[in-house]
Amino acid sequence: MNTLVMGVLNVTPDSFSDGGQFAATEAAIARGRALAAQGASIVDVGGESTRPGATPVPVEEEQRRVLPVIRALTAEGIETSIDTIHAQTALAAVAAGARSINDVSGGLHDPAMLDAAARAAAEHGARFIIGHWRGIPDPAHQRSDYADVIAEVRDALADRARAAIAAGVDSSLIVLDPGLGFDKTGQQCWALLAHLDTLIELGYPVLVGASRKRMIAEALVGAGLEADLSARDLATSVVTALAAGSAWGVRVHDVVGSVQALAVAGAWQGARPAEDMGSAEDMADPPRNGISTADPITPGGASSARGADQVGGSADRIVLTGLEVFAHHGVFDFERQNGQRFIIDAEVAVDLRAAASGDALERTVHYGELAEAIVAAVERDPVDLIETVAERVADVALRFAGVRSAKVTVHKPDAPIAATFADVAVAVVRP
């Protein structure tokens, strides 16, 4: 599994981490562009602080802050999520282009949130990121009285996921977040990270959000080190490296550091010889949430023992071939004006055992939805190169839950080539 980086964009005047420097719309848009350029797969836009003691913001003001930013970034092809605990803002943000609703309360703060998430999922295919909390963060930890923090957080998240599904949210669009720093001591937060596999066993992707939090500062101060924002960013990157390949994503302020951490983690794990990847018995264990503990993570998402043509760390694949799309891509003006046929082949690596054993559509990739998403991606704004089209389609395929890597071939059978030819195509393999 390739861990993605979610960049934090606080469009608030009272953010604990950035001092409100991105409160102005143009500054926020510029920051979102920068985060994407640095390697963020998703820019998480928030218009209300959930820090201890923060003043609640009316939804009208929250939307005034975030919606122009989401619209602008979406128009530039940058994927966004909305960090909100309010159903009205969630729906407005998804309508503006956000691909995920990131609710740190898991739908507990606003009774209308689960229905909003179901509507957003059905109408826009938006994810619902379910955070664990017991309320607005309490620095005195009066609500941090867990008998077993790992079991209690796991069970609470499982309950919220079931409630979301009952409300109509497709299970393939659910992501879980253990809510580090929300009514949990630093020690409890580290315990949750050390047992991340317990959460992954629930069968959903997991987002880790430790960036710049008190748990990071406490660990540094406890070691006699400085704990300013720069130091917290470096320590956060270490958390990212340790979560690589297990967590679906990491939510961070310093995107560059986490992107570098993932690259190093990938190189390290990818260089391990096959005999170091676990015993035969370990290799036979079913993967959790599409992640086999025996799968190495490499910069390209490929195992060192895998042949060049194999996609992902699993032999299971869903293959869609001969998908015909009419679009206006090409270098020449007449190609842009007249358009032409493009034929798309897509092959995605996804572990299919859970789907087959339970005959469960939600545990596999719906190939009809995949085809629709590919057609929409190809029909979008014209570009010069089919290389760009292939990259765009691969990105779309990788956004489907459980997909570990994708091989995409874009054929251009009517290309303006003077010589007689049968086809010209470009193929890309992406983690």
State both tokens at 248: 């679906």
Q: How many C-beta atoms surround the C-beta of residue 70 within 10 A?
A: 30
Coil, strand or helix: which one is 426?
strand
Is the pLDDT confidence value at 228 over 80? yes
204 and 260 housed in the same domain: yes
Mean pLDDT on 211-238: 95
At 96, which CATH number?
3.20.20.20
In a domain, 294, yes or no: no
Q: CA of 10: how far to CAs of 15, 22, 48, 250, 426, in Å? A: 7, 7, 8, 16, 39
Residue 263 Cα distances to 2, 175, 277, 331, 416, angstroms: 10, 23, 19, 34, 39
Mean pLDDT of 18-37: 86
- Catalytic positions, written as ranges: 213, 251
Which pTM value belongs to this model? 0.65
Domain count, the chain: 2
> 52 with 180, same domain?
yes
pLDDT, tens only, 395-425: 999 888 878 889 999 999 999 999 999 999 9
Q: Does some domain include residue 302?
A: no
Q: Does residue 43 fall inside a structural domain?
A: yes
Does residue 117 fall inside a structural domain?
A: yes
> Rounded to an integer, what distance in angstroms lies between the CA atom of residue 268 and that of residue 307?
19
Tens digit of each residue's pLDDT (9 = 90 or more) over 98-138: 999 999 999 999 999 999 999 999 999 999 999 999 877 66
| pLDDT, position 135 | 78
- Domain-embedded: residue 130: yes
pLDDT tens per residue across span 9-25? 999 875 555 556 777 89
Provide the domain limits for residue 44. Answer: 4-269
Name the band, by pLDDT with cuts 50, 70 and 90, for residue 50.
confident
> What amino acid is encoded at 38 in this protein?
Q
Per-residue confidence (pLDDT) for residue 23, from 0 to 100: 76
Task: Determine what percent of the chain is predicted with pLDDT higher than 70.
Answer: 86
Domain boundary pick from 209, 242, 269: 269
Rounded to 10 deg, the angle between the 87-96 and 113-124 helix axes is 10
Q: Do 69 and 177 reside in the same domain of the chain?
A: yes
261 and 339 both lie in a single domain: no
CATH number of the structural domain spanning residue 417 = 3.30.1130.10
Q: What is the mean pLDDT of residues 62-85?
A: 96
One domain, residues 261 and 323: no
Mean pLDDT of 322-340: 94
pLDDT over 80 at 294, yes or no: no
Does pLDDT of 139 surpass 80? no
Do 255 and 379 belong together in one domain? no
131: which strand partners? Answer: 177
pLDDT of residue 140: 66
Is residue 11, in this structure, part of any structural domain at all?
yes
Same domain, 86 and 149: yes
Question: What pLDDT shows up at residue 20?
Answer: 61
Residues making up the chain, counted from first to last: 431
Q: What is the pLDDT of residue 273?
A: 63
Domain-terminating residue out of 269, 284, 306: 269
Exposure string for 369-396, b = 16+ CB within 10 A, e = fewer = ebeebbbebbeeeebeebeebbbbbbbb
